Every structure is written in structure tokens, then in C-alpha cells.
Structure 1
Amino acid sequence: MRPVKLNVIDLPKSDYTGGPSSLCPGCGHDQISGVIIQACWENGIDPSRIAKMSGIGCSSKTPAYFLGKSHGFNTVHGRMPSVTTGANMVNKDLVYLGVSGDGDSASIGIGQFIHAIRRNLNMVYIIENNGVYGLTKGQYSATVQKGSKKRKGAPNEQPPIDMCKLAINLGCGFVARSFSGAKKQLTALMKAALSHRGMAVIDVISPCVTFANNDESYSSYGYVKDHGEELHGIDYIHHFQPLNEVDIPEGGYEDVQLFDGSVLRLETLSSEYDHTNPTAAIAALHNAEVDKKHVTGLLHHNTEMPTA
């Protein structure tokens, strides 16, 4: 019998799991749940110190599927940031993990999202972005790219709201985008977000296999794999881990120091990109939208904004 592998606080990964998923088989959201489990376990965060916060939607069902020993609050539609604000004011010792979707955050909850960033709440805000309202038969959401077409119906004719652009323009100190199928990249970003002090936003493109996984959809598995553009190779180094225990070789990288002493190591793929420059991030996102691509990685990082 194999010995059970323990993390730095001597807990097995099974202590970080949740109940069985009721989402559609192959849903990208389940991949994100697996990454959250892996990141929290590898970071050595005691599950009893985590508060899972969510709104309404397919995405907001997922906290039942991970961290079953953590605190949890399933709020009303679009109001997760307000409830998290109140919890944060009462207890700043918890690690707040907010899970939302493109409908919950970019439509009914967009005002809440804006003010949470303005206050710089100490939380990780995950947007599980599939471009449709999966619980109500797949209407387009506000984040879907113009020209994208779901399985049934006409192509989307409205311009998208880019949640990463919005977060950067509002001064968010940690903004990243990833893909639910990019496990290594997403895990590194998730661990870094958990180590950041203040608001950390991760927009995760998560294909809806029921309504929008067809070839004409810009959010399908095939499209994102063919049109994804990584800004950098990426690895995460825990504060209790030697700096040489990473995949990226010496030279051609930059180390981003995080609040708890951990490091996010970025292998530079483009000498023109500077993650500390919000203008560069906005330009990269704009160019990706024009080219109908998805740019992923750590888009922007700034530690100077005071937290609430």
C-alpha cells in the first residue's frame, strides 16, 4: 500500500476535496475545481482558514465540489462581492476565495465587481467564463466575443465586456487570464493569487460543452487551444521551496515577489511585454480581441494599492 502524500502542514489532498459534481460531463468548471484543490493543498493552506464565496450560476455551484472542510456562503445573484466585503471586515484572518461566472459578474453583478476592486478586498476572485448562461439554456453573456456562435442560433453581434481590461483600468493589483484546460499555467496563477495581498482576479475561459463547444464558438476547447497566446512560461515557487526547484531554466525570466515570500517566475516569451505596465496589458488584450485570440498569463501585477 502506497503511503499517503502529505503537504507542508501534514494534510493529505483528500482533506481538500468536496462532493461529487453535478455539472455536465466535460465541463471546464470541473477542471477549475481540480486546480483549486491542487493549489490550496500545495500552498499548505488549512482548509478551515478558507471561506468559499459564490453567487448564482453553473460556476457558483462548484464550491460544493472542493474544500468540503472550509467555510462557504452561496449568496444571491451578483451579490457575492458585497457579502465577501462584510465577511472581510469582520474576519480578516480567513482566506477568501470568490467563485463567480460571466453572467454573475459581468451583468447583474458588475457594479459589485467594480466596487470590490475599488476597495481592494483581500480575496481571490475567480471568473469561470464560458460566454453563455448555462443554467437558462445558453443565452449569450456580456463577455462573449463579437462573431462567436453557439451551437444553436445566430452569431453574437454585441461587443464584449473584457473583465480583465475592466479590472486593470480600475487599478486591480493582480489580473490574470487562463484556460481551464491549461492545468499547469492555471495552477501556478491560482497559487500566486492565493499568495497575493489584496484583490486578485483570474478570468478563466471555461468551455460550455452543452451550448458552446462547437467549432464556431470562440470559447470552445478546440478554438482556445488553436487561438490561445501565452505571454510567458510560468512557474510558482513557494516561500518554503528552494528557488532552483522549477521547470524554467536560468536566464530569460523575471521573478515576481509575492506578499508571503513566494515567487512567481515568468519566462519571457516577448521582450516587449511588461506585466507591471497597465498600458501594455490593455494593448495586449485589445490586440487579442482584434485578432480573435485569447491572451493568457499574468497580465498585470501591482502591489502598491492599499487593501480594505
Structure 2
Amino acid sequence: MTEAARLEPQVNHIHLAKKDYEGAESTMCKGCGHDAITASIITACYESSIDPRRVVKLSGIGCSSKTTNYFMNQSFGFNGTHGRMAALATGAGVANHHMLPIGVSGDGDTASIGLGNFAHMIRRNLRITYIVENNGVYGLTKGQFSATADKGSRAKKGWVNPWNAIDLASLAILMGATFVARSFSGDRKQLAPLVQAAMNHNGTAVLDVLSPCVTFNNHEGSTKSLKGIREMKDDLNEIDFIPEFEPIDVEYAPGKDLRVRMHDGGTVVLHKLKDHDPTDRVQAMSVVEQGMHEGKFVTGLIYIDETQPDFATQENVCDTPLSMLSEAELRPSAKDLALINESFMR
């Protein structure tokens, strides 16, 4: 091998190097869990040979919402208003359902001001990889508790949270999400394949990612500190994701492993660490509730349903993206408009 060949970066199936999936330099606090999530997103997109030009990146407002600037510079993307990322994603999905939306939100952006938008996006089963960077505090405004902060958790300034937490994983399952997972920002081995699986899912894929805030929520008494999460983390399964273009050349143990064929052709292989079937919705709810009762963060693929139609299918959206139709194709004729008006008079 020549020296030039040795130094040439490895490329994926669409001839892109991993650096082609990077974005701007991060301005997060040093050691922020959000940057580890960015690294997992980059790895997932590179290994799945995702075309960056097919991706639309969406976010709301908050520390988490800066993340979309730190991966895939070649992609389309924009920040929305606080709590409204789900509504913007719905609009983008209606305009062009062939795009691959990756939304990055935070616990405040999703579980407080954006909770209504989040719930209605889920019930419509919009196709989106919806990542919540969950640290339990409002980092931009100096560390106030968010709605996902655990009851009894202690703030950096000493006060104790008196309120019950909103658990986004159990809420997502209850609202009808067809893919629900939880992970820890520091566990790239688990998180990257979960992101890959989410991007292949034909519907709303919710990833609740525990991501310690090193500045305002990484102290003794916080349940979402780095130490707290590591002590309370409880894995349901180990995950492999095998893209459609890769052969499945590993033998898996019968009874201990579960394969789920994804809509876009890839395969998720789950190595069971506990007796949990992620295709059973009732069991998925139960395992999250049991984890909460025991003071644990259940992680892994919690629930998946590949049988439900996504939003575009339910709405009978035409195959050609609406954003690419001509004015003549979009505008009803005078005859059709008269029939529409007449139908309102019946």
C-alpha cells in the first residue's frame, strides 16, 4: 500500500468520509453530553450511508437546539421557535415526505412549552427521528429545573424539586409512538445503532437521551448527573443495526436475540439482557413504570411497531413531493373548485 493510499480516509457506500458528516465547531461547555450525542449522530449517518442532501435538520430553542449546527453541514436545517419543532417538522413532512427529518430538542423544549406539539406529532405518526437531549434543567437560563427533573432531585443552588417528573418514554408509548428508546449520551455503543434504527423507522421515532449538564446539573444530589445516570442506568438489550447493504454474517443465540426488519430495509438485532419484548406495547409501558418505581433509567429499545402507516400514507399524499408540483398541478380547475364549493352546500 502506498503512503498516499494509507492516508486516504475510509469512505462509506456513497463514497463519503466520516468528516463529510461533521458540522461547525461546537460551542457547548467542555464535557457537555450533547456533544457526545452529536458524535453518535455523525457515526450513525456515516455507517448508514445517509445522503446529507436528503436530510432536513430541525430544532427548537435551547442548548440542545444548537446541536443541529454541529453535524452534516451539507444538509438543510433551521431553528424554530421554543417548543414548536414538532409543528415545523410536520410542515416539512407535508411539503416533502421523501426527506429524512432529524429533530433535536431538549427536555424544556419538548416536555414544557412544546408538550402539546410533541403529543400531536406522535399521534399522527409523522416520520421523524426525534432526539430529546434530556438533562433535567434549563441550561441557557442558568439551571432551573425542567419538567423531566426527578422529584427530590437537588439543584446546584440547593433547592429540592417538589414535582413529579414527566417521563418522555412512557408518555410517548401512551400517545402511540411506534418507536421509543432511551439511552445515555456517554454510551455510544448503544446510542449510535439506536439512531440508525430510528432513521430507518417509518414513523415517529422518539429517543430520550440522558445527557448530563456539566455546568448546572452534575453535582451530588442530582439524579441526572454523570454519576447519577451511571448508577441508575439499567440496560434492557444490546443493539446492533445492520444496514440493508450489509450481509448478516453473525449467528445469534435462539431465544436470546430478536430481529426486527425495518421499513427501509435494515435490520435491528437485539441481544436480550432482560426478559423484555419491545414489540409488546403493554410490556413496554410496564418496564418503564417498573424502572421508575425502582429509581432506575431503563435504556435500550423499549418499544417498536413496524406495522403502522406513517402520516403521509394515512393522508394519501401523492408520491411527488408537494413542494415539487407546479402551480397548475396544485391549483384546482374551475370545474373542480365548483364541485368542492357545491359539496359544502349539501
Taking structure 1 as the reference length, the TM-score comes to 0.97
Paired position in structure 2 for 1:258: 262
Return the alpha-carbon distance in structure 1 between the equivalents of residues 111 and 238 of structure 2. Answer: 29
The amino acid of 2:301's aligned partner reads L
The amino acid of 1:71's aligned partner reads F
In structure 2, which of residues 285, 290, 294 is the aligned counterpart of residue 287 of structure 1? 290
The amino acid of 1:210's aligned partner reads T
Paired position in structure 1 for 2:197: 192
Paired position in structure 2 for 1:115: 120
Count matched residues: 305
- Say if 2:51 is the partner of 1:70: no
Paired position in structure 2 for 1:80: 85
Structure with bigger gyration radius:
2
Deviation at 1:119, TM superposition (A): 1.0
The amino acid of 1:174's aligned partner reads F
- Say if 2:154 is the partner of 1:134: no
Deviation at 1:250, TM superposition (A): 3.2
The amino acid of 2:302's aligned partner reads L
Paired position in structure 2 for 1:143: 148
SS of corresponding position for 1:177: strand
Paired position in structure 1 for 2:227: 222
In structure 2, which of residues 272, 291, 299 is the aligned counterpart of residue 268 of structure 1? 272
Aligned runs of 1:1-308 on 2, under 5 Å? 1=3, 2-244=7-249, 249-251=252-254, 252-271=256-275, 273-308=276-311
Return the alpha-carbon distance in structure 2 between the equivalents of residues 33 and 233 of structure 1. Answer: 20
Return the alpha-carbon distance in structure 2 between the equivalents of residues 287 and 216 of structure 1. Answer: 22
Return the alpha-carbon distance in structure 2 between the equivalents of residues 295 and 259 of structure 1. Answer: 25
Return the alpha-carbon distance in structure 2 between the equivalents of residues 150 and 265 of structure 1. Answer: 39
Contact 2:58–2:78 at 8 Å: present in 1 too? yes
Contact 1:150–1:213 at 8 Å: present in 2 too? no
Identity %: 48
Deviation at 1:305, TM superposition (A): 2.2
Contact 2:108–2:138 at 8 Å: present in 1 too? yes
The amino acid of 2:8's aligned partner reads P
SS of corresponding position for 1:19: coil
Return the alpha-carbon distance in structure 2 between the equivalents of residues 46 and 32 of structure 1. Answer: 19
Contact 1:56–1:77 at 8 Å: present in 2 too? yes
Deviation at 1:89, TM superposition (A): 0.5
SS of corresponding position for 1:175: strand
Deviation at 1:249, TM superposition (A): 4.4
Contact 2:143–2:156 at 8 Å: present in 1 too? no
Return the alpha-carbon distance in structure 1 between the equivalents of residues 169 and 228 of structure 2. Answer: 20
Contact 2:48–2:196 at 8 Å: present in 1 too? yes
The one-character-per-residue Cα deviations of 1:240-262 (angstroms, maximum 9, x if unpaired) are 111125xx843321111111121
The one-character-per-residue Cα deviations of 1:7-31 (angstroms, maximum 9, x if unpaired) are 1111111111001111100000000
Paired position in structure 1 for 2:326: none
Return the alpha-carbon distance in structure 1 between the equivalents of residues 20 and 273 of structure 2. Answer: 37
Return the alpha-carbon distance in structure 1 between the equivalents of residues 142 and 264 of structure 2. Answer: 43
Deviation at 1:186, TM superposition (A): 0.2
Moved over 3 A (4+): 248-251
The amino acid of 1:307's aligned partner reads D
